[in-house]
Chains A and B, each alone.
Chain A
């Protein structure tokens, strides 16, 4: 940790992240204003037009983003501290990227199979569990979810090839 704080090459600073976030918010606010203006943000024949409320909401977003940008620019990078070190970022990505792949997989092979693979892979890779142990936990958890949603509460979830074999 201490090493990381001295070594600025190995981390993303708060200042950078603050600016990036504020600019994204600024862009978001501008889009909201622009689209609201397009559909009319004034006073129509029957009261305020559809765009008027979101238009001012967008305006407030833009203003607060600008204030945040100004504040961030005035602050020195050292004062702001670090947003995330590389080692921590790696840990975060180790969760985020598999999760994204998992969600894409739900679309393709159904939620129960995708979840089983996801839990098992995560356990082997991050927890250093044996393959057998991981597979047992993953399948058990998903059989429980299957019973809970499809059988007891009758809430259908995305299913794939395997479930159709059981007649679902």
Chain B
């Protein structure tokens, strides 16, 4: 019950009137970001990060994480009303959400989506509350070799689980690592990959990469499609909300299944999108009414939304306890923590317990705030999407420019942002995943640091990465995940052969 005590202290930290105000501002900004094309959780938080520099860290991270919750909620609005997924994990929501809106039930679909998001996130926060201290305590035993193994696990699971071609995933990830090593080597003080350029000596800030890749890149993609919104009016009122709430409890099994899938997938990186698809697929398999799926079935909205939010929230578990973010947005939050001098990882739970529990408490409160905000303001946000793209696009580009300038007060960063934008556009079209590049850019220095420390302690023996059960187990799991697509292919081949033989 130690956790509950700590959690109540956390509520005391989070529940000042100022923080509650930041919570609501954050959620509203987040929903706004989630509904606008070209602004998503990751680059939205990146752009707004400099605004929080003058706040105290607790308020700042509360506002930033609420922006994140808001963005998660916002993605559902565009999926259901306009058939445009605001975020990749909202794609599965369009399958049944948009047909429902077309059948004249947009209010029900939205209520179901928001409520399911809330339930998914709530289960994930519960998990974080009780699991995070355990993971942190366990990770206190980690040395550099173990940390590197965990990082290896993160990156291998990216390669193993992503839908994109594995070598493109590796290329994108390694480009991130290479960019992370530009600048001064913190161990020897040597300049690396700067080629005598003073601008490059500062290194690449991943926030610039995030703004360019996801912001400008997305605008270029949207522009190509010649965006024309054909949306449904968002009619939502208290009656519809309560009617829908009355229907939801009968999907309790779907809720449990989807939350579990979400929590499990969310801890591994890049999990929210596969979690939402998986949850949709499984719900379709188990339901009594599979024919209704894809034509506007309430359960088809419930399943992916619950899983996506559970995954999005549980992505913060490895970020807080191990310092390894599970998603690009979690990476940006991690970057924010580092700026305030808070090093995420097991020690954070010991040294800054107030902060950690304040943050966890704010997850509960932020999600409640989010639910209230979205249920009451959906029509206004839907109206924003009626603003022509020829106004939205330049305004978002201006925001991207301002955002990348404020990160380091340098014009060079703004030019870099444009280059990253072009890279983002080309990579997206050629199926190079962007998330590994961002995560590698964030974790590059840390991964390299622990790799070198581990090798130093072992005098260069590479066997340090499997010398004991703990590090060996993590390394083995990493390799297993890396080759898992090969394994499943081999399994399919063997099965196919057996069938052919029989």
Contacts and interface: CB of A to CB of B under 8 A. Distances in A.
Asked if A pairs with B, the answer is yes
Interface of A: 14, 17-18, 21, 25, 28-29, 31-32, 35-36, 39, 43, 46-51, 53-54, 57-58, 60-61, 63-65, 67-68, 71, 83-84, 88-89, 91-92, 94-96, 99-100, 102-103, 106-107, 111, 115, 118-119, 122-123, 126-129, 137, 141-142, 145, 149, 153-158
B67 to A, nearest CB: 15
Contacts, number: 168
A137 B387 CA distance: 12
Interface in B163-188: 165, 167-168, 170-171, 174-175, 177-178, 181, 185, 187-188
A58 B425 contact: no
B241 interface: no
Nearest to B195: A35
Contact of A32 (B178, B190, B389, B418): B178
In the complex, the 9 A-B pairs of residues with the closest C-beta atoms, listed nearest first: A127-B390, A64-B171, A122-B394, A50-B190, A64-B167, A47-B456, A50-B185, A126-B390, A67-B167
B473 interface: no
B398 A54 contact: no
B429 interface: yes
Contacts of B178: 28-29, 32, 54, 57-58, 61
28 contacts: A17-B429, A21-B432, A36-B193, A48-B451, A50-B185, A53-B177, A54-B181, A57-B174, A57-B178, A57-B181, A61-B178, A68-B167, A83-B429, A94-B223, A95-B219, A95-B393, A99-B421, A106-B405, A111-B402, A115-B398, A115-B401, A118-B394, A123-B391, A127-B388, A127-B390, A129-B390, A155-B406, A157-B405
Given A36-B192, A53-B448, A100 B174 contact: no
A92 B224 CA distance: 6
Contact of B223 (A29, A58, A60, A91): A91
Interface string B92-115: 000000000000000000000000
Contacts of B394: 118-119, 122-123
Given A51-B192, A61-B174, A92-B224, 16 more contacts: A32-B178, A35-B193, A46-B188, A47-B456, A65-B171, A68-B167, A68-B171, A71-B167, A89-B224, A91-B224, A95-B219, A95-B223, A96-B422, A115-B401, A127-B390, A141-B395
Given A36-B192, A118-B398, A64 B174 contact: yes
Contacts of B168: 64, 68
B95 to A, nearest CB: 24
Nearest to A34: B193
A106 B426 CA distance: 26
B192 A50 contact: yes
Interface string B388-428: 11110111011001100110010100110010011001110
Interface size band for B: 35 or more
A17 B395 contact: no
B430 A14 contact: yes
B411 A18 contact: no
A48 B450 CA distance: 12
A111 B167 contact: no
Interface in B347-404: 388-391, 393-395, 397-398, 401-402
A91 B192 contact: no
Contacts of A51: 192
B226 interface: yes
B492 interface: no
A32 to B, nearest CB: 5
Contacts of B170: 60, 64
Given A103-B418, A141-B395, A92 B181 contact: no
Nearest to A94: B223
Nearest to B388: A127
A146 to B, nearest CB: 11
B193 A100 contact: no
B390 A84 contact: no
B282 to A, nearest CB: 32
A122 B393 contact: yes
B50 interface: yes
